Every structure is written in C-alpha cells, then in structure tokens.
C-alpha cells in the first residue's frame, strides 16, 4: 500500500490548481471576454489558434487528473490515486459524492481525450466532428467539486483548505487591458 505524504498531497493540490488556472485563463480570454474586438480579437486567425491551444491544454490538464492511479508499473498522481490510497474511512461517502460530480464532466470529455487530445485517431480526424461537449455550467460545477476535493485532501494531510489561485482571472484581465491600450 502507498501512503500519501504531506508533500504528495501538496503536489496533488498544485496539479489541481494548475488545471483550474488553465481553465480560468481560457475562460476569461475567450468565453467571458465581453469586448474581444478591442483586445484579443484584433488578430482573428491568431485568436482562433490561441483559443484552440488554451482549450486543448486545459482539457489535457483535466484528463491527466483522471488517469488511473496505476498504469503498468507506474503510479500517477491523480484523483484516483488520492481516493485509492487516501484511507478516507469515515469521510469515504462524502469523497465519493464529490468524485461522482467530477466524473460527470470527465465522462463527457473522455472521448475527446481518447480520440483527439492524446491520440490522432484516424476515424475521428477524418470525420472532423467535435468531441467532448458538455452543457453550459458543467465546467463550473466540475471546478467547484474539484475545489471541494482539494480542500478535503489539504485538510487531511496539511490542515485547512487549499483555495485555487483567483489571481489567474486578474492576470487575464490585466493582459486584455494592456492589449486594449496598445
């Protein structure tokens, strides 16, 4: 059995925070940007390319969090790892409920991960159809549940909550403001 150390828990929280930051960056650059024509949208071809890059990178970060704990002889620091080796005992039901919410979005993203993000599946590439869609707000629910899970992990091995970096949104807003001035 692999015991989770304080350092392992902290690294897991950091990985989850990174996924959150990549999501916030994409979201506020593109989805929540009320005046793209004044900032990021000044170069349409570049904007489209950057939107794809940031979206795919964010989805890849989410996908890595959902890898199995064990693959062959290797261990992955993932949600599954934290559940399998977390010794949650009396918190197990709450942890599984949080993870059920995480799996709702992941189940919708898995086809995109398996057929387009991690591999260039020939049939998928040739069909050129979108994969991995989800209803509006599902990403918000996912990151709220991920924050709850990270808080549980941090509380158990370190103490106290582990809030995600809210400065990522401010960084995007500052970047967009610079583009508007320039």
pLDDT tens, position by position, 113-159: 776 677 776 776 677 777 667 778 889 999 999 999 999 999 999 99
Check whether 106 has a pLDDT greater than 90: no
**Ramachandran angles phi, psi of 71, nearest 5°:** -135, 110
Q: Please state, in angstroms and as integers, the Cα–Cα distance from residue 177 to each residue in 52, 66, 101, 102, following that order.
A: 22, 35, 35, 33
Query: What mean pLDDT is predicted for residues 35-47?
Result: 90
pLDDT tens, position by position, 56-104: 899 999 999 999 999 999 999 999 999 999 999 999 999 999 999 999 8
Q: Would you state the pLDDT for residue 105?
A: 86
Say what the pTM is.
0.91
- Domain layout of the chain by residue ranges: 6-174
Calpha distance 146→36 (Å, rounded)? 29
């Amino acid at each position: 059995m692999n015991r989770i150390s304080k350092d392992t828990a902290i690294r897991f929280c950091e990985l989850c925070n990174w996924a959150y930051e990549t999501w916030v960056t994409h979201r506020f650059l593109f989805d929540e940007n009320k005046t793209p024509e004044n900032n990021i949208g000044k170069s349409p071809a570049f904007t489209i390319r950057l939107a794809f890059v940031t979206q795919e990178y964010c989805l890849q970060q989410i996908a890595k969090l959902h890898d199995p704990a064990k693959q062959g002889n290797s261990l992955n620091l993932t949600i599954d790892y934290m559940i399998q080796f977390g010794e949650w005992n009396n918190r197990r039901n709450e942890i599984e409920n949080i993870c059920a919410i995480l799996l709702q979005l992941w189940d919708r993203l898995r086809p995109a991960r398996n057929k387009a993000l991690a591999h260039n599946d020939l049939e998928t590439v040739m069909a050129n159809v979108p994969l991995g869609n989800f209803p509006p707000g599902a990403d918000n629910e996912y990151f709220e549940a991920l924050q709850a899970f990270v808080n549980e992990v941090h509380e158990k091995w370190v103490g106290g909550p582990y809030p995600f970096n809210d400065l990522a949104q401010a960084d995007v807003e500052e970047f967009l403001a610079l583009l508007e001035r320039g």
